[in-house]
Amino acid sequence: MNPLRWKREHQVAWVAICLIGAIAGLIFGWFQSPIYRLTKDAVSGPWANSTSIFLWWLQSPSIYWPWPAFGALLAGLAFYTSRLLRAAN
């Protein structure tokens, strides 16, 4: 079952699911980050502003790139598996 031969709406849905998986992986990576733990425990000072620290964290993709990649891969494979199982019926 070749994804390049799918209908356009299935290809768009596959890309959308992969993007959602990447965003979920990014959020999961943020919550697993030691930098997040520093912001969570800070009461005052520059580390207390989680939004600015998160935006700073986003500027360093070498820290978090495996999380969105794994999220997109996992979501894409789940979508492909569901399409494969539907085609088998």
State how far the Cα of 34 lies from the Cα of 25, in Å rounded to an integer: 16
Q: Which domain holds residue 73?
A: 8-88
pLDDT of 61 reads 92
**Is it the case that residue 86 has pLDDT exceeding 90?**
no
Domains in the chain: how many in total? Answer: 1
State how far the Cα of 14 lies from the Cα of 71, in Å rounded to an integer: 13
Residue 61 counted as domain residue: yes
pLDDT of 68 reads 96
Residue 71 counted as domain residue: yes
- pLDDT tens for residues 5-46? 889 999 999 999 999 999 999 999 999 999 998 888 887 888
Residue 1 counted as domain residue: no
State how far the Cα of 15 lies from the Cα of 21, in Å rounded to an integer: 10
Residue 69 counted as domain residue: yes
Residue 77 counted as domain residue: yes
Residue 3 counted as domain residue: no
pTM value is: 0.86
